[in-house]
């Protein structure tokens, strides 16, 4: 790598050759992503693999406008509709023996110097570099305060190992078995993979290339649906221990508060059923105070429009019980998940589980 030039690896691939893998649900933004990729300066990918991860397409082909410079190297593979982790695994394995795999989401826009910047990132990689991050830019409205959803998306700019634009060495992916497909959402699968490659003795470095991640449209209830990630946090804790938050640079969120608010709501209902009005009133007041604090914390930094106020009020009631439900679901689903130990970190997930079962039997 750094300073060694373009030594050929495998059948005609230089050691800085890369493939782009993009899972997609058929969003219109995919064509814009590919267009920006084709127009970016610098070396182009030797392969582009689009993973069609739509569910029940009825055989309809993926609708995408592939720019002329990329048509000869672009292929579409059928995904299994099991989430982005599984789709990325399908993609990088279909990319052949290209030394580097760049994971791009279908709603990002590589910058105009992206190819040259990626070449510099790869040139600075050392032999133990498993992955290189990118700088993610999330444009926010210049004329008003961002909404709760816009602020949520803006958090991607500071996420440590986000796979919206992340390049991995193929050898590192092979060493750890790729993404853990138990992560069915675009959440925590990137942190899990990075922690596993670091545990296996590799390093993850920061790159200089820049990619824009626009805020895509979302409905009023998107923040409630996002609470499903609490189950993935349980899986992360089972695998990596309670210290994974600080190692991954991940914010802890408000789960303790959601547990308290939901408990007061349950207590108020229970007391009402048991015909204890005073106790029910006290618990209901505690629930109302906790919900109001949560709503105000989300309203204060926002645009405070009528629609945003209504969204914050409604979702602040729904989020705490949704978060608790998904956390409890994760506790049940992953109750038997063994911890990931260092000497097993380089084994694929299935092999690792087999090792644990054999150790238990002995």
pLDDT at 346 over 90: no
Rounded-to-integer distance, Cα 355 and Cα 349, Å: 10
Supply the CATH classification number for the domain 17-218: 3.90.550.10
Pairing of strands 13-14, 74-78: unpaired
Q: Which residues, 6 or more positions from 57, have their beta carbon under 8 angstroms from its beta carbon?
A: none
What six digits make up the tokens of 123? 């040139």
Q: Assess contact for 96 and 11: CB atoms under 8 A.
A: no
Rounded-to-integer distance, Cα 271 and Cα 265, Å: 10
What six digits make up the tokens of 8? 């050929």
pLDDT on residue 340? 86
Please tell me whether residue 310 adopts helix, strand or coil conformation.
helix
pLDDT on residue 159? 92
Report percent pLDDT > 90 for the chain: 86
> Confidence band (pLDDT; 50, 70, 90) for 60?
confident
Return the DSSP state at 180.
-
Q: Assess contact for 227 and 255: CB atoms under 8 A.
A: no
> Confidence band (pLDDT; 50, 70, 90) for 62?
very high
pLDDT on residue 13? 73
Bridge partners of residue 74, in order along the sequence: 48
- pTM to 2 decimal places: 0.88
Q: Assess contact for 291 and 261: CB atoms under 8 A.
A: yes
What six digits make up the tokens of 45? 């990918």
Give 220-238 as a DSSP string: TTHHHHGGGHHHHHHHHHH
State the CB neighbour count (10 A cutoff) for residue 172.
Answer: 24
> Confidence band (pLDDT; 50, 70, 90) for 11?
low
Domain boundaries, the chain: 17-218, 221-362
Q: Assess contact for 330 and 233: CB atoms under 8 A.
A: yes
> For residue 192, which of 209, 204, 206 has the smallest C-alpha distance?
204
Rounded-to-integer distance, Cα 264 and Cα 18, Å: 53
pLDDT at 10 over 50: no
Sign of CA dihedral 113, 119, 123, 127: positive
Mean pLDDT of 146-172: 96
The single residue listed with the structure tokens 């221990």 is 241
Rg (CA), the chain: 23
pLDDT per position as a tens digit, 138-150: 999 999 999 999 9
Give 27-85 as a DSSP string: -THHHHHHHHHHHSSSPPPSEEEEEE--S--TTPPP-----HHHHTTEEEEE--SS-HH
pLDDT per position as a tens digit, 168-221: 999 999 999 999 999 999 999 999 999 999 999 999 999 999 999 999 999 999
Q: Is 252 exposed, middle or buried (0-12, 13-18, 19+ CB in 10 A)?
A: exposed
């Amino acid at each position: 790598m750094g300073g060694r030039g373009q030594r050929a690896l495998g059948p005609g691939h230089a050691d800085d050759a890369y493939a782009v893998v993009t899972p997609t649900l058929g969003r219109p933004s995919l064509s814009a992503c590919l267009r920006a990729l084709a127009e970016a300066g610098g070396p182009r990918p030797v392969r582009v693999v689009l993973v069609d991860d739509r569910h029940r397409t009825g055989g309809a082909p993926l609708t995408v406008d592939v720019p002329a410079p990329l048509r000869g190297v672009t292929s579409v593979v059928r995904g299994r509709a099991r989430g982005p982790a599984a789709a990325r695994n399908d993609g990088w394995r279909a990319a052949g023996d290209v030394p580097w795999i760049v994971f791009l989401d279908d709603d990002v826009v590589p910058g105009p110097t992206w190819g040259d910047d990626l070449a510099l990132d790869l040139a600075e990689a050392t032999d133990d570099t498993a992955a290189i991050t990118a700088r993610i830019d999330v444009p926010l409205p210049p004329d008003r305060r961002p909404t709760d959803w816009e602020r949520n998306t803006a958090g991607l700019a500071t996420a440590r190992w986000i796979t919206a634009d992340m390049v991995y060495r193929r050898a590192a992916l092979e060493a750890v078995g790729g993404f853990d497909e138990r992560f069915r959402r675009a959440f925590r699968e990137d942190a899990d993979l990075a922690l596993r490659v670091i545990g296996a003795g590799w390093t993850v470095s920061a790159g200089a290339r820049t990619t824009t991640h626009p805020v895509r449209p979302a409905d009023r209830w998107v923040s409630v649906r996002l609470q499903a990630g609490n189950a993935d946090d349980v899986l992360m804790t089972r695998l990596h221990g309670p210290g994974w938050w600080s190692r991954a640079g991940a914010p802890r969120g408000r789960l303790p508060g959601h547990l308290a608010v939901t408990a007061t709501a349950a207590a108020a209902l229970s007391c009402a059923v048991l015909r204890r009005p005073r106790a029910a009133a006290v618990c209901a007041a505690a629930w109302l105070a906790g919900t109001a604090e949560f709503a105000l914390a989300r309203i204060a930094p926002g645009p405070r429009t009528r629609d945003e106020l209504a969204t914050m009020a409604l979702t602040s009631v729904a989020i705490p019980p949704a978060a608790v439900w998904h956390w409890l679901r994760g506790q049940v689903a992953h109750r038997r998940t063994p911890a990931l130990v260092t000497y097993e970190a380089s084994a694929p997930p299935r092999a690792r589980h087999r090792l644990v079962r054999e150790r238990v039997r002995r």
